[in-house]
C-alpha cells in the first residue's frame, strides 16, 4: 500500500444524491428563504423521528442551546452545570446569557457526565444555597450518558436537563432516541456531524410552549401586529428553506449513516484490539451510540503519547484529532468550578491519552485499511 494522495479526513459530509432533488424543489417553488414548506416538514419529521411532540429548525446547534437556556430561565449571574469533556459549544451559550458554568467530570463507563460528580456538585450547591438553573448533558461522540441516574438526580433537585445531542443524532438509550430525554434536546447538522444541512440545528421538546416561545425568539421576537411591533429582544436564528430541504434529504439516510459509522468503529476494534496499550471508548449497556468519531486511548506502555501518534498519522496523510480538551482546562473558563468523579479527574486522564480516528461514513475500506496499517506501524 502506498501513502494516499488525498488526505484522509476525520469527518466530512456524505451526500446521497437525493439532496439535489430536494434543493431543486425549493428552487422550483421559489421558497428560497427565509422559511417555507421544507422547514415545516423537517421539523415535523424530526419530532416524529425523535419521539417528541415538537421541534424547531434553527441556524445552528449553538443557537438551539442558546434559546434552550433562555427558555429554562438562565440569566445573568445564574449557575449552569455542564459536562466537562465536550466541545465548547455545549457551554459557550451559558456565557452569552452572562451565566456561570460549573463543569462536571466524566465517568469511566461512558466518558460522559458522571452521576457521582453531579451529585457532589448538587450537594455543594445546596450547601452554598445556589442551585443551578439547568444541567447541560453532552453526549460525547454520540454516546448516551447514564441518563437514568442523571435524570433521577436532577429530578430530586428539581433542576431541568438540557440534552446536548449534537453528536448523538440517531443514538439510542434503552430503545429511546437521544434528544428526547431532557426538558429540551438539541441536534446539530454542522458539516462534520452525522448528517448535515451544511449548517443548522434543531431544538426538540415535548413541551410545545417551549418550542412556540423559541420560534418567537428566533424570529426577532415579532409580536402579533400588522406592523413590526416588539416588546422583547429576539434573534435571527431560523433555518432557511434551502437548508431544510438539504437536511430532509439527509434524514432519509440517517440510519445508514449511523450503521456505517458503527461499522467503521467495529472494524477498527477488530483490527486494532491486538495492539498492546491501545483501547477503545466503551459503549454503555442498553445503548446504541452513533460512534460519530471512533475514540481510542494510547496508554503510556506504548512508549508514545497521543501527540506522537497524531504527528505520525499526519505524515501518513491521515487526520486524527485529540479528544476534546476538557472545558475546565480551557483558558477562557479559568476560575470556573469543577467537580471530579473521584480522587482523580477522569476527563483529564482521557484527554491525556485520547485520540479520534477518521470516522466519516463515506470513508472507503481502502482508506480505513491505510489508517489501520499506519496506527499499527506507529505503535509497533
Ligand atoms: C457541534 C456541536 C455543537 C454545536 O453545534 P453547531 O451546529 O456547530 O453550532 C454543540 N455541542 C456539541 C457537543 C457539538 O459537538
pLDDT at 33: 75
pLDDT at 209: 98
Give the span between the Cα atoms of 243 and 194, in whole angstroms. 16
Q: What is the pLDDT of residues 169-205, one digit of tens each?
A: 999 999 999 999 999 999 999 999 999 999 999 999 9
Task: Say yes or no: CB of residue 197 within 6 Å of ligand 1.
Answer: no
Structure letter (DSSP) for residue 8: B
CA 373 – ligand 1 centroid, Å: 31
pLDDT at 316: 97
Which of 89, 94, 246 to probe ligand 1 with, by most ligand atoms within 8 A of CB?
89
Structure letter (DSSP) for residue 251: H
- What mean pLDDT comes out for the span 318-334? 98
CA 228 – ligand 1 centroid, Å: 32
Which residues 6+ apart lie within 8 Å of 51 measured at CB? 176, 177, 180
Give the span between the Cα atoms of 20 and 190, in whole angstroms. 18
CA-201 nearest atom, ligand 1? 7
Task: Say yes or no: CB of residue 361 within 6 Å of ligand 1.
Answer: no
Peptide bond into 34 cis (omega under 30): yes
% residues pLDDT > 90 (the chain): 97
pLDDT at 198: 95
- The confidence band for 328, taking pLDDT boundaries of 50, 70 and 90, is very high
pLDDT at 31: 86
3-state secondary structure of 332: helix
CA 164 – ligand 1 centroid, Å: 8
Grid coordinates given for 337: 468550578
Q: Any idea where the domains of the chain sit in the sequence?
A: 18-251, 254-379
Task: Say yes or no: CB of residue 201 within 6 Å of ligand 1.
Answer: yes
3-state secondary structure of 118: helix
Rounded mean pLDDT of the chain?
97
Fold of 18-251: 3.40.640
CA-193 nearest atom, ligand 1? 1
Of 182, 151, 152, 192, nearest to 290 (Cα)?
192
Contact 7/319 with Cβ under 8 angstroms? yes
According to the 3-state scheme, what is the secondary structure of 136-164?
A: EEECHHHCCCCHHHHHHHHHHHCCCEEEE
CA 140 – ligand 1 centroid, Å: 11
Ramachandran class of 316: left when φ > 0, alpha when ψ lies in -120 to 50, beta otherwise: alpha
CA 250 – ligand 1 centroid, Å: 18
Which residues 6+ apart lie within 8 Å of 160 measured at CB? 72, 134, 135, 154, 182, 183, 184
Fold of 254-379: 3.90.1150
pLDDT at 4: 93
Task: Say yes or no: CB of residue 60 within 6 Å of ligand 1.
Answer: yes
CA-189 nearest atom, ligand 1? 7
CA atoms within 13 A on the CB side of 177: 21
Q: For the chain, how many residues are written?
A: 380
Q: Which residues pair with 177 in a beta bridge?
A: 172
The strand order across the sheet containing 161-164 reads 54-58, 201-205, 184-188, 161-164, 134-138, 79-83, 100-104, 338-339
CA 89 – ligand 1 centroid, Å: 5
Grid coordinates given for 269: 476494534
pLDDT of 340 strictly over 80: yes
pLDDT at 34: 77
254-379 matches 18-251 in CATH topology: no
- The confidence band for 1, taking pLDDT boundaries of 50, 70 and 90, is confident
Task: Say yes or no: CB of residue 62 within 6 Å of ligand 1.
Answer: yes
Give the span between the Cα atoms of 85 and 140, in whole angstroms. 8
CA-140 nearest atom, ligand 1? 13
Which residues 6+ apart lie within 8 Å of 170 measured at CB? 142, 177, 178, 194, 254, 255, 257, 258, 290
Q: What is the pLDDT of residues 45-79, one digit of tens each?
A: 999 999 999 999 999 999 999 999 999 999 999 99
- The confidence band for 113, taking pLDDT boundaries of 50, 70 and 90, is very high
Q: Where are the alpha helices (DSSP H) in 51-111?
A: 61-71, 92-96
3-state secondary structure of 26: helix
CA-62 nearest atom, ligand 1? 9
Task: Say yes or no: CB of residue 167 within 6 Å of ligand 1.
Answer: yes
pLDDT at 274: 95
Q: What is the pLDDT of residues 303-313, one digit of tens each?
A: 999 999 999 99
Which of 60, 65, 166 to probe ligand 1 with, by most ligand atoms within 8 A of CB?
166
Task: Say yes or no: CB of residue 166 within 6 Å of ligand 1.
Answer: yes
Amino acid at each position: 500500500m502506498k501513502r494516499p494522495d488525498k488526505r484522509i479526513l476525520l469527518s466530512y459530509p456524505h451526500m446521497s444524491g437525493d439532496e439535489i432533488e430536494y434543493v431543486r424543489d425549493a428552487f422550483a417553488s421559489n421558497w428560497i428563504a427565509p422559511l417555507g414548506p421544507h422547514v415545516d416538514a423537517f421539523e415535523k419529521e424530526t419530532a416524529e423521528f425523535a419521539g417528541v411532540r415538537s421541534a424547531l429548525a434553527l441556524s445552528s446547534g449553538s443557537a438551539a442551546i442558546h434559546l434552550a437556556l433562555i427558555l429554562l430561565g438562565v440569566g445573568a449571574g445564574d449557575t449552569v452545570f455542564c459536562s466537562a469533556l465536550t466541545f465548547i459549544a455545549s457551554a459557550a451559550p451559558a456565557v452569552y446569557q452572562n451565566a456561570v458554568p460549573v463543569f462536571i467530570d466524566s465517568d469511566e463507563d461512558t466518558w460522559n457526565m458522571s452521576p457521582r460528580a453531579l451529585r457532589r456538585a448538587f450537594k455543594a450547591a445546596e450547601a452554598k444555597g445556589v442551585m443551578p438553573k439547568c444541567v447541560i448533558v453532552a453526549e460525547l461522540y454520540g454516546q448516551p450518558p447514564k441518563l437514568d441516574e442523571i435524570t433521577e438526580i436532577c429530578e430530586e433537585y428539581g433542576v431541568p436537563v438540557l440534552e446536548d445531542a449534537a453528536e448523538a443524532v440517531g443514538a439510542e438509550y434503552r430503545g429511546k432516541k437521544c434528544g428526547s430525554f431532557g426538558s429540551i434536546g438539541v441536534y446539530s447538522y454542522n458539516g462534520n456531524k452525522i448528517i448535515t444541512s451544511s449548517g443548522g440545528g434543531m431544538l426538540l421538546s415535548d413541551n410545545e410552549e417551549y418550542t412556540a416561545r423559541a420560534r418567537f425568539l428566533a424570529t426577532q421576537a415579532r409580536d402579533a401586529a400588522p406592523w413590526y411591533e416588539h416588546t422583547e429582544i429576539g434573534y435571527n436564528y431560523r433555518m432557511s428553506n434551502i437548508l431544510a430541504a438539504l437536511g430532509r434529504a439527509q434524514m432519509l439516510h440517517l440510519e445508514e449513516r449511523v450503521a456505517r459509522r458503527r461499522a467503521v468503529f467495529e472494524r477498527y476494534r477488530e483490527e486494532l484490539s491486538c495492539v498492546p496499550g491501545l483501547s477503545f471508548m466503551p459503549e454503555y449497556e442498553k445503548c446504541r451510540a452513533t460512534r460519530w468519531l471512533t475514540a481510542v486511548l494510547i496508554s503510556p506502555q506504548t512508549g508514545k503519547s497521543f501527540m506522537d501518534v497524531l504527528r505520525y498519522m499526519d505524515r501518513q496523510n491521515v487526520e486524527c484529532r485529540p479528544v476534546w480538551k476538557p472545558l475546565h482546562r480551557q483558558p477562557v473558563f479559568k476560575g470556573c468550578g469543577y467537580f471530579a468523579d473521584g480522587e482523580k479527574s477522569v476527563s483529564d486522564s482521557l484527554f491525556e491519552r485520547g485520540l479520534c480516528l477518521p470516522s466519516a461514513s463515506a470513508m472507503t475500506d481502502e482508506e480505513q485499511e491505510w489508517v489501520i496499517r499506519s496506527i499499527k506501524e506507529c505503535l509497533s
